[in-house]
């Protein structure tokens, strides 16, 4: 084991403290007995219980989940298609413009994206609700999906697709039977990214949400403006737990697969 120098220990501590101290405090105070957020009055899970009784929060959570699932699925389909065209179609008129425009939402200020979508929905007379949030989230998260998927497609051995064509597949069959199963991890990663982006989003959702379709971030934000309640702390802790479990599972699965693959390759090399 390598020993860390005092400098390394200090920078490590500072770095982690900077990143995680606020979150840690939030989690600790979510178990606070007192109604006052800043005063510790003993351990209790009372606010978690009350959270389950709070219909407004539960509704908002349900809306958020629906929006996240639909928008990330839609964004994955569209983003994968866009990535495929950009990486595979070679040069076609307007390719540079197309790829530039796909990546533009990455750097576009969210306020502007939200405002322009709001104007569009009003313009075409679409009532604001779950549908409009789904459309809005799809718009901005599909570019993230296409970045993730196209980075995988760039390293994809094209001869695999050619082999599929050579063996009698139509171009669509080649995509469905060969390309898609192989790039699936990137597609799933793109979906997860889009899902979390949609889960997190406050700005765009507040432009495109209607009165009946408040998402959780909007709910939390408006509740906090009236004062931080311990319930919010509890809710945030649950969200943190979900995200943490997701990230750890994903990385464990990837690591295990990589290890297994390495073992099998070594076994094959030895058996040669």
Residues at the interface with another protein (CB under 8 A): 157, 159-160, 162-171, 173, 177-178, 181-182, 261, 264-265, 267-269, 271-272
Q: Are 145 and 84 in contact (CB under 8 A)?
A: no
254-261 contacts: CB < 8 A, separation 24 or more? 254/185
SS3 152: helix
- Spatial separation of the C-alpha atoms in residues 163 and 154, rounded to whole Å: 17
Torsion of CA 227, 228, 231, 234, to 10 degrees: 170
SS3 43: strand
Which among 187, 170, 158 has a CA at the least distance from the CA of 77?
A: 187
Which among 187, 179, 177 has a CA at the least distance from the CA of 159?
A: 179
Task: Dihedral sign for Cα 67, 81, 140, 209, please.
Answer: negative
- Spatial separation of the C-alpha atoms in residues 178 and 168, rounded to whole Å: 13
In Å, how far from its chain's centre is CA 6? 37
Report the nearest approach of another protein to the CB of residue 250 (Å): 19
């Amino acid at each position: 084991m390598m020993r860390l120098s005092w400098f390394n220990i200090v920078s490590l501590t500072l770095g982690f403290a900077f990143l995680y101290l606020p979150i840690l405090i939030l989690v600790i105070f979510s178990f606070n007995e007192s109604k006052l957020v800043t005063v510790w009055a003993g351990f209790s899970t009372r606010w978690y219980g009350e959270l389950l009784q709070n219909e407004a929060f539960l509704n908002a959570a349900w809306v958020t989940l629906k929006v996240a699932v639909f928008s990330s699925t839609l964004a994955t389909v569209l983003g994968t298609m866009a990535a495929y065209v950009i990486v595979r179609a070679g040069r076609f008129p307007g390719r540079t413009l197309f790829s530039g425009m796909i990546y533009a939402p990455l750097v576009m200020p969210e306020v502007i994206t939200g405002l322009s979508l709001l104007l569009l929905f009003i313009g075409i007379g679409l009532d604001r609700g779950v549908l409009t949030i789904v459309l809005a989230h799809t718009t901005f998260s599909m570019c993230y999906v296409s970045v993730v998927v196209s980075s995988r497609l760039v390293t994809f051995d094209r001869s695999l697709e050619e082999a599929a064509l050579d063996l009698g597949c139509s171009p669509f069959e080649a995509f469905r039977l060969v390309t898609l199963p192989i790039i699936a991890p990137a597609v799933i990663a793109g979906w997860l990214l889009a899902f979390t982006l949609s889960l997190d989003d406050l700005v765009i959702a507040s432009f495109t949400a209607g009165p009946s379709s408040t998402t959780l971030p909007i709910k939390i934000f408006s509740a906090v403006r009236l004062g931080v309640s311990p319930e919010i702390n509890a809710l945030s802790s649950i969200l943190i737990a979900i995200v943490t479990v997701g990230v750890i599972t994903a990385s464990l699965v990837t690591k295990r697969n990589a290890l297994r693959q390495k073992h099998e390759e070594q076994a094959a090399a030895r058996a040669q």
